[in-house]
Chain A
């Protein structure tokens, strides 16, 4: 993605390269778009948000005196009359990880300036995300139907519902924001806003570029990665 050589500055590999880039003028991450660097740092900050949530969950689960509900019973789904543990979650995870794959392809076609393919793949990612949010809404409504509330539940410690709704809700909020932007970007790709030097954005008045697809992709992969952790901590622990 980045050239091995940038105007009179040979990029060296490995740690030597890191040291020489850090010691150079103008930019530290050679050839990295501002927006892309910004997204990486935002994600670092967001990692801390989710870490705080998950560590609070561990602490809360560890220190509450009441018994913690058994996840493989609470999250089981009846398939043809047989309760299958983690069925819905497995489906949700599959859909979300698949959408990461379509996102990565969209980035590839974006850089190849293949407008059609890029647009369809961004749209597919958006649909995948929307499916995930839909399934999450189903899961929430099922749990609420069974009497799980943020302030209490019939299965055990009240904190179970509190942490579950808060953390999956916060993650679902991230996915929803991502879905909204995916739809907007799908439109922008199809409308050709990134072609011919880029069209100026309505809000920011800045010119568009296919690198924006990669930036959105970074966010989307991050949201998927966080889901893997939430999955492990809530459903497997």
Chain B
């Protein structure tokens, strides 16, 4: 093949006019022309020992799996914490060891673990590392050594976070938003070592993530294979890439607030600490601004929502397209929607602070920007549905998770419109309505995508297909169970049950909330337990599962067209793939198969009705 490229030195512009007409022959090689490689082959480090191959490994795929496993471990811890919380809420006093302090610690750690150490690390560290190089046709991430450091920094951050469970006073119980001044004052659980370890762990997470994020961004921008333009990338890569950009710009605010709060805690500065009267005595602190922390935290916190959501949007688009055997509807609009949501996410943060007190015009501004986000988001939902419309849908486990995602996401999105409006948000603030909203939209919905992605890419990573029957049980238990948990919570919010309360005592909500709380708790135990079906399924499959055929889902994107499956170090064997089209050429009229891989040259499909992409 390479000889043909040599002949065509005239370049990029020649491709459209003379080059095609000028040459002879029917299936002219010129329509297959792709510019020669700009860069030499990547210089890779090949591990030889067990340690360099599997532990301090520089292969993005191994790093991805390492991220994945570490994140899942923290996720299981978060899950167990949620069980303990529901045990207390549904059946107060049944478990005597859960004191009010413990309850607050569980709430805090559950929130922080799930948002930062589970979802962010899983999507960007796990799927990002594994899929980006494979999907853009690179040998590896551009800086494998920095990538390895990134994982180990994350690992240390997780270790420090877990260590905070075992220090005197336990982990911090200030709520996952860590609002000062109460976070670092005595009386809050874990205001000693607990909060300190949390802040250090967050700072390390940010540093570790920055190393990884630079890799993801430069790999997408500067290390794509021949023919892979930005508009031929799978939406998965677009989602992860945009989320990484957000993270690179949003995590600095978290880092800065963590540094400032650490100084407040350790050496007694008053960045966030106003003058405080405690038991008739004025504390040493004074003159600081607690609202400043809220601004910094939510300038990180709101983009963080989309750091989790955008990779999920991207992945689910690919899964739906593959399993409905149809091209994604409105690819370019999907890309621009991802980018638009990402950009808008930096202008909405204060909608988390309506009740902190602000100038009404600011509330008006942030409510407007918040509602504008609904436009690109709704566009994506319509496009998913239009992709499904008249598709050749395979109702397998992956598709079930995708359908579950769409429903859940729409549900959570609509309650988001409620909460984005100041006047509706103020009465609903700090009630279970908020809990229901964000668990639907950034808890359950992204987790559904993760599950779908696991069933989809498991054969690629391990070479074996997960059991479908167990998968369907897993899906239905999770889907129905999750709705049993969060649907009633909307109602709890409307009757005014406040969140983060250890117990309701004899409040007026009691009559109608008691039974519902018990029901929610039972459902929560069930959903949690259902996740062990997946773990059982994975273990069983690894031992006795049936080997997956090559490209079992008949997908087009590059990760399924490697020389071996699972892909080896260097990903693509001798030659890097050359890309001629987008990854969504499914069910093309006139085509032999119902899919045309990205590597198929145009000359092989001239008789089909494939469009130029």
Contacts and interface: CB of A to CB of B under 8 A. Distances in A.
Real binding pair: yes
Interface of A: 6-10, 22-32, 34-35, 37-38, 41-42, 44-46, 48-49, 51-53, 56, 59-60, 63-66, 150-151, 157-159, 161-163, 166, 170, 203-207
Top-8 shortest CB links A-B = A48-B252, A8-B11, A162-B269, A52-B256, A49-B252, A64-B287, A151-B268, A204-B145
Nearest to A34: B142
Given A27-B221, A166-B259, A59 B289 contact: yes
Contacts of B145: 203-206
Contacts of A49: 252, 255-256
A197 B287 CA distance: 58
A29 B229 contact: no
B296 A56 contact: yes
B270 interface: yes
Given A27-B222, A52-B256, 9 more contacts: A10-B12, A25-B225, A30-B38, A34-B223, A52-B252, A63-B289, A64-B288, A151-B269, A157-B287
Contacts of B23: none
B327 to A, nearest CB: 20
A64 B13 CA distance: 62
A37 B229 CA distance: 18
B34 A25 contact: yes
Contact of A48 (B249, B271, B292): B249
A32 to B, nearest CB: 7
B35 A7 contact: yes
Contacts of A53: 256
B34 to A, nearest CB: 7
B217 interface: yes
A41 B214 contact: yes
A207 B284 CA distance: 55
Chain B interface size band reads 35 or more
Contact of B38 (A9, A35, A44, A64): A9
A44 B248 contact: yes
Given A8-B9, A9-B38, A206-B145, A45 B288 contact: no
A28 B287 contact: no
B289 A60 contact: yes
B230 A26 contact: no
A92 B104 CA distance: 49
A163 B230 CA distance: 43
B12 A24 contact: yes
Contact of A60 (B12, B142, B271): B271
Contacts of A30: 38
A56 B260 contact: yes
B287 A158 contact: yes
A22 B296 CA distance: 33
A26 B214 contact: no
Contacts of A158: 269-270, 286-287
Contacts of B112: none
B213 to A, nearest CB: 8
B263 A150 contact: yes
A161 B45 CA distance: 48
27 contacts: A8-B9, A8-B36, A9-B12, A23-B230, A25-B224, A26-B35, A27-B221, A27-B223, A42-B210, A44-B249, A45-B213, A51-B252, A52-B255, A52-B256, A52-B296, A56-B271, A59-B292, A60-B288, A60-B292, A151-B270, A151-B284, A157-B287, A158-B270, A161-B269, A162-B271, A166-B260, A204-B145
A229 to B, nearest CB: 15
A167 to B, nearest CB: 10
Residue among A31, A34, A159 with most chain B CB within 10 A: A34
Contacts of A203: 145
Nearest to B287: A64
A7 B38 CA distance: 6
A48 B253 contact: yes
Contacts of A59: 289, 292, 295
B231 interface: yes
Given A151-B267, A151-B269, A159-B287, A26 B252 contact: no
Contacts of B38: 6-7, 9, 26-27, 30-31
B225 A26 contact: yes
A52 B45 CA distance: 38
Nearest to A8: B11
B287 A52 contact: no
A163 B579 CA distance: 53
Nearest to B231: A23
